[in-house]
A and B are shown apart, each in its own frame.
Chain A
Amino acid sequence: MLQLTLKQNPPVPLEAELISPDTLARMSLDEIRALPLQLGKHRRRLDEFFDISGAPGLELKLIGDLSRVKWLGRGMSQGRIEIVGNAGMHLGARMKGGEIEVHGNTGDWLGAEMSQGTIRVRGDAGGQVGAAYRGSVSGMKNGTIIIDGTAGLEIGMRMRRGLIVVGKRVKDFAGLQMKGGTILLRAGSEIRAGAWMVRGTIISLAPLPLLPTFATSCSHNPLFLRLLARQLADWDIALPALDDQGTYDCYSGDSSVPGKGELLIWRPRNGSTVQ
């Protein structure tokens, strides 16, 4: 495993799209030390900012407050990055496979336009998680993003497939213009969830404000939630899916598009709680 420890907090954002298992695994330590990073308008060597230990391989550990370091793991297709500390914007953007785990918080555009792979954030994430970049037709095309804490605006914007799970309350426009896939909001959201959604599913375990362009359809426990619950159990995340616990109120919309998205809001049976 290769370990990179941040020596000093960069004075301006540092763009480090080359720090990813795909690039580093093929390199010698000397090549890695000389790897170009972009500090503002200047090009700098990796070893100006990082202490390097361990051996190059598909496993990568980054240590320190990297909240100013952008584009870590961009487009990675294999291997694993573990970050002990915070990470900056665009972490895992366009990733095609592999795994990222962050013991800290991340910036905006986490896993933006990713097509495969898994990201787990133990802290909070910024906005535009798994989203499409401005003007792009679709956001994440597959893969899984799990955030234990909160997330910002426009998570899952234009996502097509895949799963986003957020543990605490997210800000406005969750699932904006969503085209497919699933967003699980374990603690609900602020306003405008599902705005302009075309297809896909947003599940909320807490009540959330609805847009007037969503219609009530029914109240039940769809079968696919049991599959999802099983999948989430691997991550130690509980999803109520059994009739004795309660039911989901289903809404469809956004009729302004007009869209066929689904919003499922959990209504626990009296006395039953979700942890």
Chain B
Amino acid sequence: MLRITGGRVYDPANGVDGQIRDVCIADGRIAAAVGDGARTLDASGMVIFPGGVDVHTHVAGGAINFARAMTPEDHRRTVAFIRTQTQRSGLGGMAPTTFATGYLYAGMGWTTLNEAAVPILSAKHTHEELRDVPIVDKSCCVLMANNEIVLDLLENGELERAKQVVAWQIWASKAYGVKAVNPGGVAAWKWGKDAKQLSETVEGYRKLTPGTIITGLAQIIDELGLPHPLHLHCNNLGAPGNYTTTLESMKSLEGHRAHLAHLQYHAYGGDDWNTMRSETEAIADYFNAHSNLTADAGAVLFGNTVTITADGPWQHLLYKLTGRKWGNLDVENETGCGIVPYTYRPSNIVNAVQWASGLELLLMIKDPWRVSLSTDHPNGACFWRYPEILQLLMSADFRRDCMAKMSEEAKRRIRLPELDREYSLFEIAIITSAGPARALGLSNKGHLGIGADADIAVYNQDQDISRMFSHPRYVIKHGEIVIEEGEIRATPLGRSYVIKPQYESTIEEYLRPLFEDCYTMQFENYPVELERVEHAELRNCIPAE
């Protein structure tokens, strides 16, 4: 039992905006009151947030693990975690090791994360890694939009059966949501091609288009009643002029819920790299008017990172642009994936546009509940740099200082200089915790109401925003103090959220021969057994009528 007294509480879901009040914890949850025997933490001069929730990150699985092997030079220059009686050894950096990932997230007050890209074929691998990410709770999204069995069904208009297959595959991979990456495009990339336009037929199909894949999947997911809507990585990621594709994608989602991943990478105008500019206003205008959508920013920060996505075409483009080492993984039939180390520089106009676009979206989208903080870790920047973005959002002056280093040409391509909005702590609590928890449909996360999980970050109130959010005074996970004054005190295992949507068991008879035809793995070996998911917790689906 624990009582935190004297702190300013920011709990947007319950309308609490910086009032000083006690927060009580019993049995890992927020309680109305605790007895006199409870330990008391004096939080005078501090602010209290619900623990951070990351709606879109890449911290576990084949791709990031491939990136780890490719970046020994980065591992060497990072701070190392030394093994102690409570802490495993590990390395931070662009692609942190699993244990370090848990320590780094908790170390800045984040307590839940959503691993955004899990190929079904290697879901077992992802879960094995997530088991080694301590402290934080986890969920993951399974990749679907380039899965050939699903694509074939959508091609033939067999939506009902496609729904059964999607449901079976979610459960087989022990996932929590469904992610569509560059629908149709990754499948085409296996032929060295890309799918650029939403209405263009996907290579290798007769009539299937990226648009029909998006609409079909969004409908299936709504009908299955998944807590998290379709998690969409739009086509044409990173390409100049791609904002029209993004607008088209959003239009094809009308009538359905959807979450748009790393929206920044999809908000560019211009015809080529020389004329590329920010088109965030057009994206934000449409988005503001359509409440069926949520998004995460996919913001970029200047500096080194490693880009890794299941978007093969984009990766190869980066490789050609930078000439830096490239890794390309090919996961049978489902998705490909590329990896390139990359440095974002303020002197590079393209990078400057990317940097500004992420911030512009966060500032121009009016409803903070619908846009979450993310960097598409590690693509735009590493997750442990989130505090730097919070500082940019909270201070227009700081943004101006950063822009002072940029060329006049770059400033003509962006909207950021015109934006004066500054986030309040209340709004920060929304985009880092309450909003993403709601987008994920995790009702026990992102707030401090009675019965909620006692995942709490306590920060010293500080003029230096970046410092403040980098070094929480206390972090509490499920009622246990895990971080105290920068020291890791405990490293409990987090839970994994899993859903089991309804499907008819006969679907397996349909799938078995297709599998034996397509895959080099036995059908029985495909599903991840529930016992292999550490601390699995089943969440409900509410199917549509």
Contact = CB atoms under 8 A, between A and B. Distances in A.
Interface of A: 133-137
Given A134-B73, A135-B73, 10 more contacts: A133-B72, A133-B73, A133-B76, A134-B72, A135-B70, A135-B71, A135-B72, A135-B74, A136-B73, A137-B73
Contacts of B72: 133-135
Chain B interface mostly: helix
Contacts of A136: 73
B447 to A, nearest CB: 43
| Band of interface residues on B | under 10
A245 to B, nearest CB: 41
A111 to B, nearest CB: 17
A133 B77 CA distance: 12
A207 to B, nearest CB: 34
A26 B48 CA distance: 46
A139 B63 CA distance: 28
Contacts of B74: 135
Contacts of B71: 135
Nearest to B75: A135
Nearest to A136: B73
Nearest to A134: B72
Interface of B: 70-74, 76
A126 to B, nearest CB: 20
A133 to B, nearest CB: 7
12 contacts: A133-B72, A133-B73, A133-B76, A134-B72, A134-B73, A135-B70, A135-B71, A135-B72, A135-B73, A135-B74, A136-B73, A137-B73
A69 to B, nearest CB: 21
A136 B73 CA distance: 5
Chain A interface mostly: loop
A167 to B, nearest CB: 31
A93 B211 CA distance: 56
Nearest to B73: A135
A197 B470 CA distance: 43
Interface centre among A134, A135, A136, A137 (most CB of B within 10 A): A135
Contacts of A135: 70-74
A135 B71 CA distance: 6
B189 to A, nearest CB: 26
A136 B341 CA distance: 12
A136 B70 CA distance: 11
Contacts of A137: 73
A137 B74 CA distance: 11
B476 to A, nearest CB: 34
- For the complex of A and B, the 3 pairs showing the least CB-CB separation, nearest first, are A135-B72, A135-B73, A136-B73
A198 to B, nearest CB: 11
A161 B72 CA distance: 23
A133 B482 CA distance: 36
A137 B70 CA distance: 12
A137 to B, nearest CB: 7
Contacts of B70: 135
A136 B75 CA distance: 11
Contacts of A134: 72-73
A134 B73 CA distance: 7
Nearest to B325: A135
A134 B76 CA distance: 10
B71 to A, nearest CB: 6
A271 to B, nearest CB: 48
Nearest to B77: A136
Contacts of B73: 133-137
A76 B72 CA distance: 23
Nearest to B71: A135
Nearest to B324: A137
Nearest to B69: A135
A134 B72 CA distance: 7
A16 B72 CA distance: 23
A158 to B, nearest CB: 11
A14 to B, nearest CB: 20
A60 B70 CA distance: 39
B147 to A, nearest CB: 34
B33 to A, nearest CB: 50
A136 B325 CA distance: 11
B308 to A, nearest CB: 16
B89 to A, nearest CB: 12
Contacts of B76: 133
A258 B186 CA distance: 30
Nearest to A132: B73
A137 B323 CA distance: 12
